[in-house]
Amino acid sequence: MFDSVLIANRGEIACRVARSARALGLRVIAVHSEADRDAPFVRQADEAICIGSAAAAESYLRIDRIIAAAQRSGAQCIHPGYGFLSERPDFADACAAAGIALVGPPASAMRAMGLKDAAKALAQKAGVPVVPGYHGDNQDPAFLKQQADAIGYPVLIKAVSGGGGKGMRRVDAAEDFLAALESARREGASSFGDPRVLVEKYVLSPRHIEIQVFADSHGNVVHLFERDCSLQRRHQKVIEEAPAPGMTEAMRAAMGKAAVDAARAVGYVGAGTVEFIADGRDGLRPDRFWFMEMNTRLQVEHPVTEAITGLDLVRLQFEIAAGGRLPFVQDDLRIDGHAVEARLYAEDPERGFLPSTGRIWLLDLPQGEGVRVDSGVEAGGEVSSWYDPMIAKIIAHGPTRAAALDRLARALGETRVAGPRANAAFLKRLVEAEDFRAGAFDTGFIDAHMEELGVLPAGSPSPAPDAAAVAAGVLALQLQAGGAPAAAGWADPWASLQGGRPAFQLLGARTVRRQITADGEKAIAEVRWGDGGLAVTVDGGEARIADLKAADARGAEADGVVAFANGAVAVRAHARQLVISQGRQVTVAPFDPFTVDLDHVGDAGGVVKSPMHGKIIAVLVEPGAEVTKGQRLAVVEAMKMEHPLTAPRAGVIAEVRASVGQQVAEGAAVIMLAE
């Protein structure tokens, strides 16, 4: 076994790898960017080395700097985690040239499976069924469109070097093909440095099922059963579970054999995942699944496999990389119960799932029997626009699927994140959805059930006036307590005691109205003092004094956090109140006319702003151009995803304030329409 490991990754997976490494007695070396200098994974390491600036291209993707750090620290092996360099054969070559073991497959296997077109050809040669499509070298747009027309719509455009949904576009009509092709190519070039694509038939009612494989360097290959990853949004996995609902022994055997055959065909060593698409219209059948790709690394969702097999997959990776044999054969493996994983992201489902950044003021993650949490962030830290927006993976294990889902729903209900918006409430509704629990789902499930899942289009009004009222009530109580803020007019002179009795009992009830901002929009908070105590109304939502009483031992104001009897939580963030009520976060502050955004003065509908921190990667219009409502004007990239900026109305472009390559802040004006 090795005595030391350098982890060439960050965040949650770096913490996860370090946990198994320490259990094996390995010295742990972390590499980090300047932005991650104070991150938990850095503090947990025995040694940490800064390898560059915040941009991944100048740090976590710099092979030369990582190899130099490994040599400097004396690391015997490098674990790449997932993402970044984990599937780069040139990184595997660099490790070999430096005499450092890579905890992963050989470069030859990465090359064989790294390009989707070549991987499909190899799988087909090994007898593994593949989806009909064009996987050739001709990248002429007109030719690719001809191929798509011949295949028949809907089709999928996929980046040849892609993964994680990057560079992937579904096209339902011929007239949309060329625009989708351009977008997929741009994202493929940005994410993988390779704009090439392939075109495949889109399988109706698709189920995304993958097989975990493990192989050693002595010729032994097994599969560790399947995971169902069908609950996706924009081809990004949201919920993963093992085993797959509705899986038959016949289909498990067929898929397992196909995955093992594919791994053997490339001389695979280590942990890998063979991904299949299955037609689920008539249930899972052995004659209706096709090879999609092989991920030559550990997967984000590996904890559900660990839960049902009782294995530590990272430990097994280390043992195999050190030359060991698999400690079992296929017949030794058994499935124990059911496991489900939810990905907790810093994103806002009520604003079109836009990524959310900023300081984490509160982070309460669940605990309990059958619940596991893998995270790489903490309260006081920050979610930045430089990296993936994952906050944590929440995994539940139980004797049955229903028990595992119940545990996961409870865990998500106990999850509290304040600062960046998070998708915990959305995940809870998803786990509780009747059709999903009944096994009636495919990869289009989330898109087909947006309204029931509480997802609103970007720009929709806040659906949580009650949360805004709770926030305004807490603000009123705090400002009433005295100090400079009370001079802003929130203090209630009728609430003072006279002869041991509240003044309103002698002088009558009183109502005051104060201007606030709720999620950045001006609103009126009506604060009433009377026989029933304090009550606050904001835009039709109401909160009474009973709602504003602390519900636990932390007290009314411990570390700036208040927990309420109705389940809401309020967090003080400087002069603001962040209130989470029924999964919705609302930010409330006293209105300050000196902080008014001047771009909102006049015709606010003529300002096109960036919805998040990110980089402008395309500007599609020039001043003087006439545009129609909904027309794409620019594209901003944040957290590895593209987000189009569209015209809020028809008009003429008056000004373009941002250029390609420019970093922009959330709320920054990018394009102005003439009034």
Which active-site residues does the annotation give? 297
Alpha carbon distance 361, 606 (integer Å):
34
Backbone angles phi, psi at 339, to 5 degrees: -135, 145
- Nearest one of 198, 203, 197, 202 to 134, comparing CA atoms: 198
Tokens of 625: 């151009």
Are residues 229 and 164 in contact, defined by beta-carbon separation less than 8 angstroms?
no
First-residue to last-residue Cα distance in the chain: 69
Q: What is the DSSP letter of 191?
A: H
Helices (H), 486-531: 503-507
Residue type (1 letter), 21: A
Q: What is the dihedral angle through the alpha carbons of 286, 288, 294, 299, rounded to the nearest 10 degrees?
A: -80
Please tell me whether residue 545 adopts helix, strand or coil conformation. Answer: helix
Cis peptide before 154 (omega within 30 of 0): yes
Nearest-angstrom CA–CA distance, 275 and 267 = 18
Residues 369, 568 contacting (CB under 8 angstroms): no
Is residue 348 within a helix (H) or strand (E), and if so which, with residue range? Answer: strand 347-348
Q: In angstroms, what CA-CA distances link 55 with 347, 387, 566, 639, 658?
A: 20, 8, 42, 11, 20
In DSSP terms, 6 is beta-bridged to 29, 78
3-state secondary structure of 405: helix
- 108 phi-psi bin (left φ>0, alpha ψ -120 to 50, beta other): alpha
Residue type, 134: Y
DSSP of 250-309: HHHHHHHHHHHHHHHHTT--EEEEEEEEEE-BTB--TTSEEEEEEE-S--TTHHHHHHHH
Indicate the residue type of 140. Answer: D
* b/e burial code for range 604-621 (CB count within 10 A of at least 16 → b): eebbbbbbbbbbbbbbeb
Contacts of 545 (CB under 8 A, 6+ apart): 473, 532, 533, 534, 535
Tokens, residue 156: 């999928």
Written as six digits, the tokens of 433 are: 């959805």
Alpha helices in 481-547 (DSSP H): 503-507
Burial readout 489-508 (b: 16 or more C-beta within 10 A, e: otherwise): ebbbebeeeeeeebbbeeee
d(C-alpha 612, C-alpha 294), whole Å: 33
Measured CA to CA, the distance from residue 297 to residue 273 in angstroms comes to 7
> According to DSSP H, which parts of 481-502 are helical?
none
With a CB cutoff of 8 Å and minimum separation 6, the contacts of 379 are 360, 361, 362, 363
Amino acid at 144: L
